[in-house]
Amino acid sequence: MASFFNRMRSSAGPSSQSSGLSPAKKDPNALQITPLEKFLLDAPPGPLREDGSDKFWGLENFGNTCYCNSILQCLYYSVPFREQVINYPKRTPLEAVTTTSTGQSRIDPNATILPPNHPSLTPARLVKQQPQGPSSARTAGGPTTTPKPEDKEHPEYKKRVAQARGPTISMTHDNTAAYGMPESLFTSLKDIFEALLAHKSNVGVVSPNKFLEVLKRENEMFRSAMHQDAHEFLNLLLNEVVANVEAHSKTLVDEEEERQKGMNCSVDKTEFEQALASAMPKVAPGNTGWVHELFEGTLTSETKCLTCENVSQRDEAFLDLSVDLDEHSSVTACLRKFSEEEMLCERNKFHCDRCGGLQEAEKRMKVKRLPKILALHLKRFKYTEDLQRLQKLFHRVVYPYHLRLFNTTDDAEDPDRLYELYAVVVHIGGGPYHGHYISIIKTQDRGWLLFDDEMVEPVDKSYVQNFFGDRPGLACAYVLFYQETILEAVKREQDAESLAAAAKAAAEVSKEPVGLGLKTNGFMNGIHHVKSVVTPATPTTEETNGYTSLDKVVTETSPLVEPPPQSPNEVTALPQIPASEMPTEDVKSKKERAKEEKERRAIARISARQEEKAEKERRKNLENKRKEMSKKADEDTRAAIEASKASKVEEDHRVAFENGTREAPKEGHSGPLGGLSRLKSTSKSFRKPRIFSREAGREEPVADADEDVASPTGQENAERPERSRHRFSGLRKRGSNMKLL
Amino acid sequence: MFVLPPPPRYPVSQPTSSPNGVPVQNPLVEMSNVLTHPSGSEYQLSVGEGTYFLQDNLHLATPPPHPQDAPVTNPNPLATTPAPPKAGIKLSMCITSPRKSIPSLYRQAAPSTGSNLGTYSIKEHEKESRSSHDTSSDGATAQFASSSTSGRTPIFGEDNSALTPIAGKEGVKRKKPKTSLVKSNSQFISRVIPHDQLSKRLQEHNAEGIFVFANIDRAYQWLDLSSPAPARAQPLMKILFAKAHMLCHDINAFTKGPSHIDVIMGASTGDIVWFEAYSQKYVRVNKNNIISPSAISSIRWLPGSENLFLASHMDGTLIVYDKERDDAAFVPETHSTPPNTHIPNGNGTTTDTDPHPLHINKSVNSKNQKSNPVASWKISNHRILAFAFSPDNRNLAVVSEDGSLRLINYLKEQLTDLYTSYYGAFTCVTFSPDGKYVLTGGQDDLVSIWSIVERRIVARCPGHYSWVTAVAFDPWRCDNRNYRFGSVGEDRRLLLWDFNVGMLRRPKAASIRNRDRASISSCAPISRNRTESTQVPVGRLRSTSSLSEGPVGEDELIEHEVESRTVTATLPPVMSKVIDEHPLSWVGFEEECIVTACGEGHVRVWRRPVDVVGAGDG
C-alpha cells in the first residue's frame, strides 16, 4: 500500500494536475487536486465572502453520522437559514470564533491546503478510515463487495483524500460565551457555521465533534452509533433551534428590560463590527421566529361530519411535509394524494362537536400557508405488517426542479407560489436500519455539489435527477428541499446558465492557446463536467499570476458592460455584449448572478404589472443603447482592449484593497452595481407582510395531536411508534382561529 | 424524455472495467421480439364510444451492448460518470397505400365520418398535391409543383433561388440513398439483420397495413403490424448501430409510397441517418458531427418537402438539413446576432436585450446553399425536447427543458410566442389536426392546451400521476368543435381526453365549475388583467436579417405570463388507466387502433371499438 502511494507521488509531474476531473484516467495522481479544487480553480472565487456562500467544506463522519452531515449541509446552504443562524443573536466578531476564551488560537484561518507531499498525506492516514457500514450499502448494488482501496472513483478513497488534504477544523470547543447563550444544539450549529465563515480556505473538512456531543447528550435516541433517520434528525434539529432561540430571547428580553436601551444590544461595537452589520441584513435580537418564518407552513384540515354535514376546520403548523409514495409517481402526485379526501370511519371516527359523538366523517388536508422553504419528506420507510418492521420502498418517484403546490386551500395566499429545488438528501441502502446519506445541494453560484461526508464534488445539474429510486445502487431521494422563488428569478438563472455554458465553452477555447497548466482533459471528456453554473471570474490577488490571460479577458469589457441600474430584473443586462470577446459572459453572468442572489433573497411577490412597466421602459432604453453600441462595435472592440488594461489594474487595486480591509460588501467582487441598494430596500419591504404570519405560527401550542383528527403524521406515528417522540413537535403548535388573510 | 445527455465521446476504457461480470455478450446471440395477446379486463379501455381491446402486445428485444462499447457498470450509485443515453421507444408509423396515405393530421380535413363543416384550405391543397404526386409517378419535383399549385401556403425557402435548382433538376424517380446497408462496412453500423423472407413479406404486405419503425436502445426495427401473427413479431429489418442510439425518427409522409419509404433518424451522437426502407440504403448526414456535435432529441421532415428535414439538437439549436446536400463545416453566418456560443471571437456581435431571441445562425434565405445546413436557428442553450409542425406548414412549436414553449413562424424565421410551463420542463408537444391548438405535456404532470388563434393558454389538464411523456390527437375522433387526444406518462397511464371548443371558450365558467366557490370571484378581475397583459407585447422580436422590416402585430414576440391556476380552466380526462408495467414513452392514433410504447420495449396495439370501425372503414 505504502509503496503504491509513494510511487504515485514520485511520478507527480505537471501533467498530473490534469487528472482533476477524470481521475479514472490512467494518471494515478488524482491525489494532487480534487475535482472540487479543480472546479474552484477554474473560476477563482474572488475575495472571501462574509456570507459564507463560497465555503464548500466536507463534514467528518464519526461512524454513522452521515444523517447529521447531510442535513447540516442542506441547512448551511439554505441561505436565509444560514444568515439567521449567523446573525442571531448578533454577528459574532471574527476573533471570538478563531480564538478560545484563553486567547489561544483555535483554528488557523490562514491554514492552506496541504501540499501534495505533505507528511499528513501518508498512506496510513489515507487508509485510516476503513469503510464502515455505509460502504456495504454502496456496493450492494453490484457484485463487487470490497473495492480496492486505491480505486480512485470510490467514495471512501475520495473522502480520505479530502480529509488528508485538509484543512480541517475540529469543532471541539464551544463559543457559547460570545453568543451569551447556554450550550445547545443551536450554539454548536452556529459554531460550525461561524468557523466555516471565518476560515480562509474555501474547502476543507469540519469535524462536528461538539455538535454530535450535544446531540447525543440531549437526545437519547441519537446516542447509539446506529444508523439514524435523516428526516427525524432534521425535524429534531429545527425544533431544537426554535427552542434554543426562544429560550435565549426570553432571557434577552428580561435583560433588555433592565437595560432599558432602545439601541442595539451590543454597545461596544467595533468599527469592524459595524461594517459587518451594515453588510448583513440586520436581525433584531428579539426576532426569534425565523425558523418558523422559513420552514413553517400551515395545514388546514377540513373535516366534514357525514351525519350533520358540519364542516370543521383546524389549522396546524408544519415544518416539513411527509408524503406517502406510490409506484411510478411524481412529487406533485404525492402532494395531491396527501390532500385527497380520507374517510374517518370504524375505529377512526371523528368526534363531531355538533352531533356530540363519534361520527363518520370526510377529512382532507390542504396547505393554507405555504412555507418559504418547503422540506418534503418522501416516506420511503414504511412499516410492513408481514415483516413486522420498516421496509424501504424503492418506488420511482420523480421530482422536478421546480414545483408549485396544487393542494392549497382556496383562500391560501399566493397559491401559485413557485418553488425551486435546491437540496436533495439521498439515502443509499437497502433498508431503513442501515445505509448512508448524502446530499446534493445547489449553491448560490457554483451550481450543484455533491456532499458525501468529507467529500465535496461538483456535479452536473442532471445528476440531481439520478435518484428517483429506480436505478441500481439503492440510492433514492429521501428529503427534498424546495425554496420559494419567482419565475423571473428562474428565467434569469436559466439565462445565466445558458450564458455560463456558452462562456465556459468560449473560455475553453480562449484558454487553450495560452496553455495554462491547469487545462484538463476533463472538459473534453464528458459534458457532465461542463458545469452549468456561472463562474465568478474576478481574480484574487493571489491567483492573478496563474491567470493573467483570463484576467485580461474577464476585465477588459467591464467598463462597457454597465448593468442597467435600478432594474430589479436584469434580463436586459444580459446580451448587452458590446465587443466580440466571449469571456465577457463571465462578467455579465456573474453580475446577473449576484443580482439574482439578491433578488432571490428578497423573494417577493411584486405586482406583475409594475414589473412589466419597468421592464418595458428599461427595454426601450436599452434598445437605444444597443443601437448605438452596435454601430460602433468595432471601435468598441478596440477600445475594450485598451480599457481592459486599465481596468485590470483598477480591478487588481480594488481587489487588493478589499482584501486588505475586508470591508467589501458581500457582492463587492461583482463590481459596482448601482441597483443593489435599491434591491436591498425592496427586499425588506417584501419581507414585511410575512411577519404577522409568523406570529400566527406561534399560537398557543395544543398539548397533543388529537386522536379523532388524524394529523398528517398520524400514520407515521403508527408506523414508528418508538420514534415519534421527537417528530413533529412543530406540528403540535396549532391555532384554531387563525386569520391569515 | 432523455435520462442523460450522451457523452460526446465514449470512454476509451474497454470492457476490462466490467469486473462484476456483466458478461460481454456475443452480439450474435440475440433475443427476438415476443408477441403476446393478453386478455382480460385490465387490457381493455372503456371510453364513451366503446371498449378498446389490447390486440397485440409486442415486446421488442433490447439488443445487448455493442462489444466495443460495453457500458461500464458502476456499482457506485454516486458515480458522477454519465450513464449511457437512454430514450424511450418512439414509433414512426405509416400506411403506404395511396388511398390511406393521408397522414393523420390532414385526414381530418375530409373525415369520412361526416360532420366536416370547415375544411381548411390548407388541407385541400395537401390533398391536391398528394394526388398529383400519385399520378405523376413520383415526380421528384412534386414539392415544387405543390408550391406552385398552392397560392396560400408558401414552401419553406421558396423565395431563395439558391435552394430551387438542386431539388428541381433531379430525375423522375424518387431519389434513393447511395450506400447499401447490408453491404456497408461502416463502423457506424454494427449489424444489419434483414428478415429471411424480406421480399416475400414485402410482397405480401397489405398496402393498407401499418408499417412501424421503432428505436430501442442501439437497435432500429422495421415492423409490419399487418403480417400474420407469428411473423408479425419479427422485424422486416433490424439495424444495430455501434455507438449511436437513435433517439428520434420520422417517415416522410410526402414521399412514401408502395415502394418507397424515406425514414430520417437522429442519434444520441448527433448523427443523422436517411434510410430508405425498400432499397435498404442509407446516407449519413452530419457525419463526424461536422455541423453539430450535439445529440438530436427530435427530427421531422418538413411537411410537404421531399428533401428537407428539421432536427432539434440538444444544445438548443434547430437545424434544417437537406438529404441531398453534402455537409460542410458550418460557421454561423454573421448577418445577424450570433448566439455567442459557436465562435469565440466572432465579430459583429451586437448587444441584445432580449434573452429569448431566435438567433439565426443561417437563414434559409442565405445565398450560400451549396451545402448543409440549409438553415440553423439557435433558440436557447437549453435542451430542446420536442417540436411539432403546424398543419398549415407555417408554424413550429418547440418545447425545451427550461419549461418554455416557443411558437416560431419558420417560414419567416420569427419567434412569435413564448409560453412558460406551470413549472418544470415541457417534454412533448403536438398540434391539433386543424392547427388551432397546441398540446404540451410536462413535468408538472399536466397536459396544457394552448390556443394559437387567441394566443393564450386554454386549459390545463390534470390527471396524470407523474410526468407526461407524449401527447397526440386522435384525428379520427376530432371534428372542428370536439377534440379527442391522448397522453401517456411516467405513471404508466394512458389518458384520453375530450375537449370542446364551446367549453373552452368560456374558461372562466369552466374554472368556476372546476375550482370551487367564492375565491374565484375575487380572482376574476385579476384574470381580466392577466389576459389583457398577455396581449400587451412585452418585448419585440429583434429584427432578423432580411426580415427586419417585418410588420408589427402578428409577428411581434409575445412573452406570455404564467397564468394562475385559479383562473385557468381545467379539464378532466374521460379515461385513465395504467396500461403497462413501465413508464410509457409514446402514444399514437391510427384509424383502427391506438398504439402505445413503453421505455422497456413493449409496443401495444389497442383495437378501437368495433362499432365505430365500420364508419372509419367506409
Instruction: Pick the catalytic residue from A154, A231, A248, A436.
Output: A436
Look at A487-491, B279-283, B337-341, B409-413 and tell me which has the smallest mean pLDDT: B337-341
Q: Output the nine-digit C-alpha cell for B447.
A: 397536459
Q: What is the pLDDT of residue B16?
A: 34
Confidence of residue A89 (pLDDT cuts 50, 70, 90): confident
Residue A436 annotated as catalytic: yes
Cross-chain Cβ contact B352/A576 below 8 Å: yes
Question: Which A positions 4-43 lie with beta carbon below 8 A of chain B?
Answer: 24
Answer yes or no: do A463 and A595 share one domain: no
Cross-chain Cβ contact A582/B73 below 8 Å: no
Look at A541-545, B47-51, B166-170, B400-404 and tell me which has the smallest mean pLDDT: A541-545
Look at A263-277, A328-342, B391-405 and tell me which has the smallest mean pLDDT: A263-277
**DSSP class per residue in B112-144:** TTS------HHHHHHHHHHHHHHHTTS-TTHHH
Q: What is the mean pLDDT of residues A560-573?
A: 39
DSSP letter for B42, please.
G
Say if residue A50's pLDDT is above 60.
yes
Look at A323-332, A370-379, A615-624 and tell me which has the smallest mean pLDDT: A615-624
By Cβ distance, the residue of A142, A428, A626 closest to B352 is A626
Confidence of residue A655 (pLDDT cuts 50, 70, 90): very low
Cross-chain Cβ contact A574/B73 below 8 Å: no
Which residues of chain B are within 8 Å of residue A526 when distances are taken between CB atoms?
7-9, 81-82
Parallel, antiparallel, or unpaired: how do β-strands B384-389 and B375-378 relate? unpaired
Q: What is the mean pLDDT of residues B478-494?
A: 91
Look at A252-261, A413-422, A446-455, A693-702 and tell me which has the smallest mean pLDDT: A693-702
Q: What is the pLDDT of residue B164?
A: 60
Residue A74 annotated as catalytic: no
- In a domain, residue A67? The reply is yes
| B518 in A contact zone (CB under 8 Å) | yes
**ipTM higher than threshold 0.90:** no
Say if residue B245's pLDDT is above 60.
yes
| A131 in B contact zone (CB under 8 Å) | no
Residues 6+ apart with CB under 8 A from B483: B432, B437, B473, B498, B499, B500, B501
- In a domain, residue A296? The reply is yes
Q: Output the nine-digit C-alpha cell for B172.
A: 423522375
B430 or A157, greater pLDDT: B430
3-state secondary structure A660-721: HHCCCCCCHHHCCCCCHHHHHHHHHHHHHHHHHHHHHHCCCECCCCCCCCCCCCHHHHHHCH
Q: Output the nine-digit C-alpha cell for A16.
A: 498530473
Nearest chain A residue to B359, by CA: A575
Residues 6+ apart with CB under 8 A from B310: B299, B300, B301, B302, B318, B319, B320, B321, B387, B389, B396, B410
Answer yes or no: do A188 and A152 share one domain: yes
B11 or B477, greater pLDDT: B477
Answer yes or no: do A72 and A194 share one domain: yes
Cross-chain Cβ contact B82/A528 below 8 Å: yes
Confidence of residue B366 (pLDDT cuts 50, 70, 90): confident
Q: What is the mean pLDDT of residues A39-48?
A: 70
A582 or B213, greater pLDDT: B213
Residues A165-196 have pLDDT tens digits of 778 888 777 777 777 788 888 888 988 888 88
State the Cα–Cα distance between residues A247 and A253, nearest whole angstrom: 10
Q: What is the pLDDT of residue A580?
A: 40
Residues B549-569 have pLDDT tens digits of 333 355 577 888 888 888 888
This prediction has a pTM of 0.70
Question: Which A positions 636-655 lie with beta carbon below 8 A of chain B?
Answer: 637
Q: What is the pLDDT of residue B577?
A: 94
| CATH code assigned at A699 | 3.90.70.10
B155 or B130, greater pLDDT: B155
DSSP letter for B6, please.
P
Nearest chain B residue to A450, by CA: B78
Q: Output the nine-digit C-alpha cell for A415.
A: 397559491
- In a domain, residue A682? The reply is yes
Residues A204-246 have pLDDT tens digits of 888 888 888 888 888 888 887 778 889 999 999 998 888 888 8
Which one, of B376, B384, B267, lies nearest residue B316 by Cα?
B384
The CB-based long-range contact list for A632-635 (8 Å cut-off, 24+ gap) reads A633/A578, A633/A579, A633/A580, A633/B347, A633/B348, A633/B349, A633/B350, A634/B347
Answer yes or no: do A110 and A189 share one domain: yes
Look at A176-180, A340-344, A401-405, B563-567 and tell me which has the smallest mean pLDDT: A176-180
Answer yes or no: do A658 and A542 share one domain: yes
Which one, of B22, B149, B45, B14, lies nearest residue B595 by Cα?
B45
Answer yes or no: do A574 and A632 share one domain: yes
Per cent of chain A over pLDDT 90 is 13
Q: What is the mean pLDDT of residues B317-345?
A: 67
Q: What is the mean pLDDT of chain A?
A: 65
- In a domain, residue A206? The reply is yes
Per cent of chain B over pLDDT 90 is 29
Say if residue A33's pLDDT is above 90.
no
Say if residue B375's pLDDT is above 80.
yes
B208 or B334, greater pLDDT: B208
Would you call B59 helix, strand, or coil by DSSP?
A: strand
Look at A151-165, B17-31, B192-206, B303-317 and tell me which has the smallest mean pLDDT: B17-31
By Cβ distance, the residue of A332, A411, A577 closest to B444 is A332
Q: What is the pLDDT of residue A134?
A: 38
Structural domain of A449: 291-487+694-732
Q: What is the mean pLDDT of residues B408-426?
A: 91
Which residues of chain A are within 8 Å of residue B357 when distances are taken between CB atoms?
575
- In a domain, residue A20? The reply is no
- What strands lie across the sheet with A297-305, from one edge to the other? A311-318, A297-305, A361-369, A342-344
Size of interface A-B (CB pairs under 8 A): 232
Residues A518-551 have pLDDT tens digits of 333 333 333 333 333 333 333 333 333 333 333 3
Which residue's entry shows cell 444489419? Answer: B192
How many domains are contained in chain A? Answer: 3
Q: What is the pLDDT of residue B274?
A: 93
State the Cα–Cα distance between residues A178 and A159, nearest whole angstrom: 33
Answer yes or no: do A75 and A170 share one domain: yes
Distance from CA of B53 to the nearest CA of A (A): 24
- In a domain, residue A506? The reply is no
The answer to whether A154 and B76 have CB atoms below 8 angstroms apart is yes
Q: Output the nine-digit C-alpha cell for A157.
A: 478513497
Answer yes or no: do A281 and A302 share one domain: no
Answer yes or no: do A198 and A304 share one domain: no
Which one, of B128, B132, B142, lies nearest residue B175 by Cα?
B142
Answer yes or no: do A724 and A626 share one domain: no
Distance from CA of A672 to the nearest CA of B (A): 20
Distance from CA of A490 to the nearest CA of B (A): 9
- Among A671, A688, A705, which residue terminates a domain? A688
Cross-chain Cβ contact A326/B465 below 8 Å: yes
Answer yes or no: do A140 and A237 share one domain: yes
Answer yes or no: do A274 and A308 share one domain: no
B417 or A690, greater pLDDT: B417
Which one, of B377, B373, B380, lies nearest residue B413 by Cα?
B377
Say if residue A265's pLDDT is above 70.
no
Give whole-number Cα distances, A732 to A174, A398, A442, in Å: 31, 30, 31
The answer to whether A596 and A493 have CB atoms below 8 angstroms apart is yes
Q: What is the mean pLDDT of residues B563-584?
A: 90
- In a domain, residue A263? The reply is no
- In a domain, residue A22? The reply is no
